[in-house]
Structure 1
Amino acid sequence: MSYQLTITPAKVSELPSDETLLALANELLQTTDSWKKGKLYHKTVQTYSRSKGPNDGAPWHARVSVHAKEDATFDEFWSKLGQNKAENEKEFIDAIKKVTEVKRISETQTIYTLYYTFPPPVSPRVFTVLQTTYLKEDTPKTGIIVSVPVDLSEDPELAKLEEKGTKGRYVSVERLLELEDGKTEWRMATSSTPGGSIPTFIAESSMAGQISADVPHFLHWFHKIRESS
């Protein structure tokens, strides 16, 4: 298996298959509990990290949180994270200003480009990823979302859909797992680079807090739309 989960982007003509990404995602997820344990955020979000390995373009960071049905059921989590994930993220992550569907490859694979803005002096960032989803509906219900960076340069028509900005790159694996007591475990691992001139140590030092903040941001947004429906 030559493809690796890394921040090195794949060309459009060489995108990995669902099967390849799912196998790599499961392999990575099984190791996260052995990573270095970090801070606990928001009383519920445990963070982990792994230093950069020989095949990695950047270090890895992970977070794990467990949620009762009052937060969201497995099906509710999946409806927002396993379907239209990029568009939904724009609703609860302030920095994402625009999401464009570049190409729908299949029911489970889509290329998106996401445009982020940040307070000065940081310039806007553009992240283009292939998102792959997998859902296992028998017990225990399991949903996996894999996002890997894509280089659109060999396809000028697709490349036109990217906004202007510094190109960042990230790879992420998320798993939703329904536990025996009906709660849902939400586990995420990511490796990234913001691109541009931001020093690596600054970007890395803020990662645990940033990825942990996505959990309360998601729940706050989800409860607002849950109450209004």
Structure 2
Amino acid sequence: MKLTITPLKPSAIPGDDEIMLEAESLLDSITSWKAGKTYHHTVKTYSHPKGPDDGAPWHARVSVHKPEEATMLQMWDKLGKDKAVNEKEFIPDIAKVAKVKEVSATQTIWTLYYTFSPPIISPRVFTVVQITRLSESSPRSGLIVSIPVDLSGDEELAKLEEKGVRGRYVSVERLLELPDGTTEWRMATSSTPGGSIPSYFVEKSMDSKIAEDVPHFMKWLHSLRKARNRMRPLLLDRGHS
């Protein structure tokens, strides 16, 4: 298959092996793309022009994280499980998410409702199937792939989508545990917000936008850790009462 922003019908979603093979190939090619700016001191960005089979150009980011910042499994716990629900917590533009259908243990269809400060653009609805795979063999790695889905042929599933302009995105992410214990986080995405927004307006801000997700995620992850640490003495006290 070819990973693009062209939406699939739920019945046409390929098997995991086919999807993951394409995702790995794409992720491995990122560092050969055109290098962009480095954001937040550590997030490197890359871009690739729209190819003949692509619906839009590609943008990517690569960052490496020390164990004290977050381990590979800590990151996977929030990115590889219920990713859409967790994204709502650290991506400010996401107002609502809903699980549409659990296709299998590794494939779930989600709809995400984005709101933006007016008068820039009206709300957008993105519906995707998210496919995940965790490999515990050395080096440990986790893959998350999001592919746009068209629910228009299924009245019951379509009811779960919010009202708004339909956008589309495809994304691939990999968490890879490196030999020194750090974790490399790679992500590549191709997207269109739909509507009448000029593509150049979207493209010029994509690198900085996807780079922002890294500190947003880490700040949220650390806030969860601090909250657990505050609760731990209370839980221990209750255990001894």
What TM-score results when the alignment is normalised by the length of structure 1?
Answer: 0.98
Displacement of 1:84 in angstroms is: 0.7
Is 1:71 paired with 2:51?
no
The SS at the match of 1:65 is strand
Return the letter of the residue paired with 2:152: S
Equivalent residue, structure 2, for 1:42: 40
| Partners of 1:12 and 1:228 in 2: CA distance | 39
| Partners of 1:70 and 1:10 in 2: CA distance | 40
Tell me the matched-pair count.
Answer: 227
Identity percentage over the alignment?
A: 64
Residues 12, 154 of structure 1: 8 Å contact kept: no
| Partners of 2:38 and 2:134 in 1: CA distance | 28
The SS at the match of 2:137 is coil
Return the letter of the residue paired with 2:58: W
Structure whose residues are more often helix by fraction: 2
| Partners of 1:85 and 1:157 in 2: CA distance | 23
Equivalent residue, structure 2, for 1:104: 102
Return the letter of the residue paired with 1:189: A
Moved over 2 A (4+): none
Residues 172, 189 of structure 1: 8 Å contact kept: yes
Displacement of 1:71 in angstroms is: 1.4
| Partners of 2:185 and 2:69 in 1: CA distance | 12
| Partners of 1:185 and 1:201 in 2: CA distance | 30
Equivalent residue, structure 2, for 1:222: 221
Return the letter of the residue paired with 2:153: E
- 1:5-154 matched pairs, under 5 angstroms: 5-121=3-119, 122-154=121-153
Equivalent residue, structure 2, for 1:187: 186
| Residue deviations 1:26-80 (CA, integer Å, cap 9, x gap) | 1111111100000000000000000000110000000000000121001100000
What TM-score results when the alignment is normalised by the length of structure 2?
Answer: 0.93
Report the structure number with the largest CA radius of gyration: 2
Equivalent residue, structure 2, for 1:168: 167
Return the letter of the residue paired with 1:4: K
Return the letter of the residue paired with 2:16: D
Displacement of 1:17 in angstroms is: 1.3
Unpaired segments of 5 or more residues in structure 2? 229-241
Unpaired segments of 5 or more residues in structure 1? none
